[in-house]
Structure 1
């Protein structure tokens, strides 16, 4: 036997005596077959399944708002259940049965007489006894863009605009219809400064046409207008004085009237109060309208 064969036999004997019970010295086989060592054979099937299947790390929720209380459902309070039922009927524009409202909102509105009476007596709930259906009374009643424009025109003629939020509650597609009307030049819209959301809508009485005028102002003039800054009161008075101008009478301070009356003018001296003499038996001897000083006091 050559030296190479003796070294190979010695290496095999060392490997045979090696303990593979530790997972550091015996990694799992690549082909997925079970290990042939006694320690691996003695392991339970559950341990083998846990070692073969890697654990999945759950990703933490990123949309949790910890400052807001968790929504625990409709609750047990009658008023809380009433709010859930009214809000659900408000979100739907179709009449509903009481049993359907109870199922969708998970409230005992069909079995609890107190809750049912409160629901019927709500000022925004309309009950039709003929059909036994409930519906929500929205502030506006329109379902298309033409009816929406008519409502905006009616409100603008009264001297005001309409809140886009209130219009959206009556018709979900109201914001999209308002944006279309704005592009057509039918309405004027005010938006929030922060995110540019629709806020108020007004009817545009002057249409942007060549005959009637009413064209939109160019961006250059808009930028110039918004770049102007109104000075404070002190600087404004200085600039008016430098231009030879004065403050208008409405803005000027009204001088206060003098409290004391000057002598020599008519009506300036206070009128003396007449003293009523009651001791008539002393009349002719002592002048009761005068003040007397007793000597020694």
Structure 2
């Protein structure tokens, strides 16, 4: 065999030994000329420990994924067998659904026997938050306010403000999820007044704005009335009670001063040293004062 043929055979042998499944090539040591080239290497991935360059018995440990399990809370195992528990699941699902539902759909989604258990069905129909429409045979949840649009929301706020009270934004949100965004838009338009929490500035109460300005802007209060308002001084608690009494008025229960020695006010127990007479039970001790130190005579 010529030198050129030997070099070609050696090159083909080295090329067949290349491991293309790894980043590293593992050429075998050079073989003497004239030897037959080994068969093709398997192209699949090799198990750990058999790969050249890696020590035998050394395996990579796979990390198990951490599971966020709260062992102090019981696992949710379903609706259970109790009728009241199944009723709570069915009503809660009806509350989370904005559209009316069929009884069969509610039973399937909540996995409750509404269609087979007559007792559960009776309680479900007579629930104070469940509304049934006999014309469509559909069930829906009774929210505190029937609001589904921005104009209806403004009308509801205006109706309650005329009664001297506002509306809680939380209750409106339960009835209509887009109520907070609509309230903020109405506030920018000057239609309502909004109170917010001091901690995070979340919407709390909403009131209808009965005093609105024209197209030129809000109504300005004259300086004379502003000066009169700021000139008023509120007396302290003692003088306020005296002024009310002089006018024949009485303070409300929340502002009335509570007397220090009022009945029903609990105070700390005081220990009083009282000298009690000893009760004589034994007749042979009659005539002897046991409250005094007694030393028998010898």
SS in 1 for 2:243: coil
Cα distance in 1 for partners of 2:79, 2:200 equals: 33
Quote how far apart the aligned CAs of 1:36 are. 7.5
Q: How many residues align?
A: 193
Match of 1:85 in 2: 90
1:144 paired with 2:144, answer no
Measured against aligned partners, the alpha-carbon deviations of 1:41-61 in whole angstroms (never above 9, x if no partner) come to: xx8xxxx9xx3x640342453
SS in 2 for 1:169: helix
Quote how far apart the aligned CAs of 1:150 are. 0.8
Match of 1:96 in 2: 101
Quote how far apart the aligned CAs of 1:176 are. 0.8
Match of 1:119 in 2: 124
Match of 1:206 in 2: 211
SS in 2 for 1:96: coil
Q: For 1:23-102, what aligned pairs fall within 5 Å after superposition?
A: 34=50, 51=59, 54-59=61-66, 61=68, 69-102=74-107
Question: Are the aligned partners of 1:102 and 1:108 in contact in 2 as well (CA < 8 Å)?
Answer: yes
Higher helix share goes to which structure? 1
Quote how far apart the aligned CAs of 1:118 are. 0.8
Quote how far apart the aligned CAs of 1:109 are. 1.5
CA gap 1:57/1:85 in 2 versus in 1, 3 angstroms:
same
Match of 1:131 in 2: 136
Match of 1:248 in 2: 243
CA gap 1:36/1:113 in 2 versus in 1, 3 angstroms:
same
Indicate which of 157, 168, 174 corresponds to 2:179.
Answer: 174
Quote how far apart the aligned CAs of 1:69 are. 4.7
Measured against aligned partners, the alpha-carbon deviations of 1:196-223 in whole angstroms (never above 9, x if no partner) come to: 22111100112255465169xxxxxxxx
Cα distance in 1 for partners of 2:152, 2:241 equals: 52
Cα distance in 2 for partners of 1:70, 1:214 equals: 61
Cα distance in 2 for partners of 1:157, 1:128 equals: 32
Cα distance in 1 for partners of 2:188, 2:220 equals: 14
* CA RMSD after TM alignment: 3.8
Cα distance in 1 for partners of 2:190, 2:218 equals: 13
Quote how far apart the aligned CAs of 1:74 are. 1.9
Structure 1: runs of 5+ lacking an equivalent: 1-28, 216-224, 256-297
Question: Are the aligned partners of 1:124 and 1:138 in contact in 2 as well (CA < 8 Å)?
Answer: yes
Structure 2: runs of 5+ lacking an equivalent: 1-22, 26-44, 222-229, 246-250, 260-298
CA gap 1:90/1:36 in 2 versus in 1, 3 angstroms:
closer
CA gap 1:187/1:35 in 2 versus in 1, 3 angstroms:
closer
- Normalization by structure 2: what TM-score? 0.54
Cα distance in 1 for partners of 2:74, 2:96 equals: 23
Question: Are the aligned partners of 1:162 and 1:202 in contact in 2 as well (CA < 8 Å)?
Answer: yes
Cα distance in 2 for partners of 1:190, 1:36 equals: 72
Cα distance in 1 for partners of 2:92, 2:77 equals: 16
